[in-house]
Structure 1
Amino acid sequence: MNLLIKRSVVKPLLIPLTAVTAGSFLVSYRLFKYAFERVDHVPPTSKEKQKYADDYYDYVAWMKQTASQTWTLNANSPENKVVASYIPATRPTKKTVIIAHGYKGNRETMANYVKMFHEMGFNALVPDDRGHGESSGNYINFGWLDRLDYLQWINRVIDHVGKDSDILLFGVSMGGATVEMISGETLPPQVKALIADCGYASIREELTYLLKQQFHLPEYPVEPLVSGINRHVLGFSLDDVSSTKQLAKNNRPILFIHGGRDTYVPVKMAYENYRATKSPKQLWIVKNATHAESFWYNPTAYRKRVTAFLETYFK
């Protein structure tokens, strides 16, 4: 499947201001730009994870020094070019993990997970999503359009590694939600299992939660206005971006991981995603971990839990 997006041009929005105040619209538009517009740097991590900085940069240095290839989708379409790093395993293998990064991150920010899977004998494909890193796009789509790019990445892996490939999908935060949303698509048999770390249940629910927690704003009329702006710019409403709806169609084994002290994507969303899933599933709540901290809190326990899941479902 080839996904091509036309260059975004913000035209005057056809949203009647008679229903809302101009002030509400202005607030919503500024929020849209704050949350959805790309930034070409990785924002600082949370205070809770600052203590892992030295380890993080060691992982990044390892990834930069490890032999890799640069893969590209839509190379002849500047508005749609998507870039990834492919890191082959030390020994030839049919096992490949495709790793999805988090919000305002890039493939480099997944270096610790790349190294973990590399040591477990996997090839690794690590894309920059649209609106991130070296990939094109002026706006972040929170995994909804990215999921279609990942279907192309899956086919690229099969073409490169072989039709007897065994593929694992893995993601953290927005990447976790991206994996969850990919799960509802028609996947080739080479995709054997999925792991989603701290993914949200839906972007509407996540935005509504953050409106109250961070900005002290009501859901109405802000969320419907942001959704309308997003539909105008990117072609879909926030109601479309739902992990739970996609997981209801999933038929692959999946491991959900979530920090018990996550106040960015609240842990109740992990339970929502788990309940929505009818396929074989596991849920691991890392009691004292904050958002996207589960690996860093105890890397040995994290790897052990992932290994146990793979020994059961990835054969």
Structure 2
Amino acid sequence: MTKHRMKHSSTKVRRHHRGLWISLVVVVILLVVGLIGAGNYFFQVAEVRSHKAFIHNGALKRSDPLYEQDKWFKEQPKQTWRQTTPDHLKLVANYLPATKATNKTVVIAHGFGGDKEKMSAYGTMFHRMGYNVLIPDDRAAGQSQGKYIGYGWLDRKDYLRWLKMVVNKNGQNSQIVMFGVSMGGATTMMVSGEHDVPKQVKAYVEDCGYTTVEDEINYQAKAMYNLPSWPLVPVVSAISQLRAGYNYREASAVKAVAHNRRPIMFIHGSKDKFVPTKMVYTLYHAANEPKQLWVVKGAGHAASFSKNPHVYQVRITKFLDRYIK
């Protein structure tokens, strides 16, 4: 083969390799752009304040076991409490004093896509138990300001301020319980792990909260969209860090309950398909004593109360009566 032909052949090989590399780079760029685009879309679904089509937030039907409790609480004249967060958000809460003057107050945290109105039946339950009732709208919910849903992690600091407000308004001898359902359950647990919880907080009750935001988002990626968690969820988590100020791994209820030293009750439906029941066992084992676990047979997500309202109230009352006098 002549030198000319060899040189020509070598040039063709180099051009071929260069073309392959360019094609590979283009493919990688397209994949990255597509992944970022998908990440932004799912961040919008997961965290940006908007109507969530996959969350049922309609009014309760008359046939619902909680209809009367829900209706009663909504009809009561309530005080409006307010706070302004360090990041300048105005938050709003409803406060209903007990029928008989008391130092017992419950602070109730609502779930994902919900607001304080959705917790009315629980407010009635605690009011019947003799408690003052404070139900806030989380940031990015109801009447409160905010663009990004905090999944309990951003909200934990807001709830610390609500708890301290109860002490300031109702007195140093206050006895406070924090209670939450679903995301509100996770919020309750995340609050429990903070070092500056007021001493007046005597116990926590959480219903169907998740272990970590990362675990729940991973689960929902598969359950709702049949997508693998990697690499999408880490991308969405990174976007959350940049835009909302937190990532999914740090938002851990498991780590929080491991730091908690106050009584905590865990409730979960045995047929929960939204926050899988197995999560409550991880949380329970991570928690310190005193603690109690109640898995409600046959109950779906956030349905333990409606499964049997009387038993639900009795079980919570028996737990709290050990610590609230």
Question: Normalised by the size of structure 2, how large is the TM-score?
Answer: 0.86
Q: CA deviation at 1:42?
A: 8.8
- Please say if residues 65 and 309 of structure 2, whose CA atoms lie closer than 8 Å, have aligned partners that are also in contact: no
> Which consecutive unaligned segments of at least 5 residues does structure 2 have?
1-27
- Please say if residues 42 and 105 of structure 1, whose CA atoms lie closer than 8 Å, have aligned partners that are also in contact: no
1:125 aligned residue: 134
- Please say if residues 197 and 292 of structure 1, whose CA atoms lie closer than 8 Å, have aligned partners that are also in contact: yes
Q: CA deviation at 1:302?
A: 0.3
Aligned pair 1:309/2:319, yes or no? yes
Which whole-Å CA distance do the structure 1 matches of 2:273 and 2:303 have between them? 12
- CA offsets 1:80-129 (integer angstroms, 9 cap, x no match): 11100010000100000000000010001001110000011000000000
- Please say if residues 98 and 124 of structure 1, whose CA atoms lie closer than 8 Å, have aligned partners that are also in contact: yes
Which whole-Å CA distance do the structure 2 matches of 1:222 and 1:247 have between them? 28
2:3 aligned residue: none
2:230 aligned residue: 220
Q: CA deviation at 1:147?
A: 0.5
Q: Counterpart of 2:39 in structure 1: which amino acid?
A: S
Which of the pair has more CA radius of gyration?
2
Q: Counterpart of 1:158 in structure 2: which amino acid?
A: V
- CA offsets 1:155-212 (integer angstroms, 9 cap, x no match): 1100111100000000000000000000001212100000000000000000001111
Which whole-Å CA distance do the structure 1 matches of 2:265 and 2:120 have between them? 20
- With over 3 angstroms needed to count, the CA separation of the structure-2 counterparts of 1:40 and 1:207, relative to structure 1, is closer
- With over 3 angstroms needed to count, the CA separation of the structure-2 counterparts of 1:69 and 1:279, relative to structure 1, is same
- With over 3 angstroms needed to count, the CA separation of the structure-2 counterparts of 1:44 and 1:267, relative to structure 1, is closer
Question: How many positions carry a matched residue from both structures?
Answer: 297
**Aligned to 2:322, what secondary structure does the other structure show?**
helix
Which whole-Å CA distance do the structure 2 matches of 1:39 and 1:182 have between them? 25
- Please say if residues 95 and 166 of structure 1, whose CA atoms lie closer than 8 Å, have aligned partners that are also in contact: yes
Displacement over 4 Å in runs of 4+ = 17-20, 40-44, 49-57
Q: Please, which of 212, 215, 219 is the counterpart of residue 202 of structure 1?
A: 212
Question: In the TM superposition, what are the counterparts of 1:74-153 in structure 2 within 5 Å?
Answer: 74=84, 79-153=88-162
Q: Please, which of 24, 29, 44 is the counterpart of residue 40 of structure 2?
A: 29
2:72 aligned residue: 62
Greater per-residue helix proportion:
2
Which whole-Å CA distance do the structure 2 matches of 1:223 and 1:44 have between them? 20
- % identical aligned pairs: 45
1:293 aligned residue: 303
1:163 aligned residue: 172
Higher RCO (CA 8 Å, separation ≥ 6 residues): 1
1:12 aligned residue: none
Question: Normalised by the size of structure 1, how large is the TM-score?
Answer: 0.89
Q: Counterpart of 2:140 in structure 1: which amino acid?
A: G
Q: Counterpart of 1:30 in structure 2: which amino acid?
A: Y
**Aligned to 2:173, what secondary structure does the other structure show?**
coil
What value does the CA root-mean-square deviation take over the aligned residues?
A: 2.3
Q: CA deviation at 1:314?
A: 2.5
Aligned pair 1:268/2:281, yes or no? no
Q: Counterpart of 2:186 in structure 1: which amino acid?
A: A
> Which consecutive unaligned segments of at least 5 residues does structure 1 have?
1-16
